[in-house]
Structure 1
């Protein structure tokens, strides 16, 4: 399988932190003791390590993790699920978006998470594994995550569930700490808002590894963006996602799989 690129590069991370903290270029340059020209060069994509490390400290970012990202020195080790889990990465405009399928191998009951831009591969996998897709859980209702909703529902007959703060016509709604079951699989909802009001992380146990489907709460080496609720996004992700067991696999809305342990070490927003 082709390696999925990281969702954000180091300039994206700097931009998200700067916008979220409402720090202007002039203010950031002054705090970091660098010229506005050097800051502009850094933000244009030049990995000026000394400048980067100064900037990181004033954006609450880990200098070491940001440097590793800027120098392409890190990519998350990819976990292996022998059965019961499949990931799908589909192109949406100028980016790619993920969707996921989990199932109980014995009962063949399954749940899908988001639709991606094209749900055909998910539908084909469900058919090949002889699965009954009982639920379609939506991490949030931004268009790229529900782009193929109608076709996926028509193909599987799945019940659609979204958070009560982001209702959709025809969908059932849940609150935080709702519980669902597929045989031995347990699925718990964790509200992780900021990027959107009802952004939900689904914590799944009963597979080979604990799994958190995070939508746009966190990505490998980055975080979901928010210009209005950045602090809420940061705290919810830190307190509810990164507090999960260290071996929990994180299945984000964009970019590759990662784990809680890896993000605590290598995510510029959370590494210390």
Structure 2
């Protein structure tokens, strides 16, 4: 079963509008439509001409936004030996956690916990994996809800966003996991110390991005919208196009797919 996209086209518009600090009226004045049209679009109306004007005023890629409104794109399925995604319900949404392991040595690392770590524990037991680490992308409750159940020998998070149940590390720290390398990139903006973990050594490079970026969207700029856009550009879009992106919500995607389909990054189209 496919995990639905985290955001619809109107969610993208809302995130960009909030990030830029624009009211409905100021956005309407900026792009030459009525405030009622702005509100209607945010409620789901799909007038393409208005969409294109709003996209231009918000710095979004209009055709990609229209593609979302037409529900015309979904990322290709991802299958990488040594990578598993776990999607668990958290209140009125779902949240992802990930397990990465070296298929040869069976050494594993978990990334975030989701609402419940039980599905991950079941996978660890069924494959007889040896869990070495739990890495946290950030401290929002849906990502750290079940740290205790995993009983990982090391629970790790960036010193920029410490957590009482985790040991802090300095940005740029690397780890070895059997024949795999886990490195860190700072992708702040959605949260104050958000970290992307890049894993090399599987069939494809993998990046656990937390809420920095979603398939055809991104996390809201709760700390800084401009910073979120900038760190994604500098730290995620500079990865190889084949890199698998593992977001905190919604389906997995790739750098190449996001360059082609993500409205927040028009420069890659």
TM-score normalized with structure 2 length: 0.97
Match of 1:138 in 2: 136
Counterpart contact for 1:20–1:228, Cα < 8 Å:
no
Counterpart contact for 1:117–1:148, Cα < 8 Å:
yes
- Which digits, 9 at most, give the CA deviation of each residue in 1:168-218, with x for residues without a partner? 224211122110111111000101001111100000010111000000000
Match of 1:119 in 2: 117
Task: Confirm or deny that 1:182 pairs with 2:177.
Answer: yes
Instruction: For residue 58 of structure 1, give the secondary structure of its aligned residue in structure 2.
Output: helix
Task: Confirm or deny that 1:262 pairs with 2:262.
Answer: no
Structure 1 segments, 4+ long, off by >2 Å, are none
d(CA) in 2 for partners of 1:112 and 1:130?
14
CA RMSD in angstroms, aligned pairs only: 1.0
Match of 2:53 in 1: 54
d(CA) in 1 for partners of 2:222 and 2:244?
27
Instruction: For residue 13 of structure 2, give the secondary structure of its aligned residue in structure 1.
Output: helix
What is the aligned residue count? 267
Task: Return the offset for 1:105.
Answer: 1.4
Counterpart contact for 2:4–2:251, Cα < 8 Å:
yes
Call closer, same or farther: CA 1:227–1:180 in 2, change over 3 Å: closer
Task: Return the offset for 1:228.
Answer: 4.2
Give runs of aligned pairs for residues 94-113 of structure 1, distance below 5 A: 94-113=92-111
Task: Return the offset for 1:160.
Answer: 0.2
Which 5+ residue runs of structure 2 have no aligned equivalent? none
Give runs of aligned pairs for residues 38-53 of structure 1, distance below 5 A: 38-53=37-52
- Which digits, 9 at most, give the CA deviation of each residue in 1:44-91, with x for residues without a partner? 11111110111000101000000000110111112221x211110000
- Which digits, 9 at most, give the CA deviation of each residue in 1:200-242, with x for residues without a partner? 0000010111000000000000011024411001000011001
d(CA) in 2 for partners of 1:41 and 1:108?
52
Match of 2:191 in 1: 196
Which 5+ residue runs of structure 1 have no aligned equivalent? none
Task: Confirm or deny that 1:33 pairs with 2:28.
Answer: no
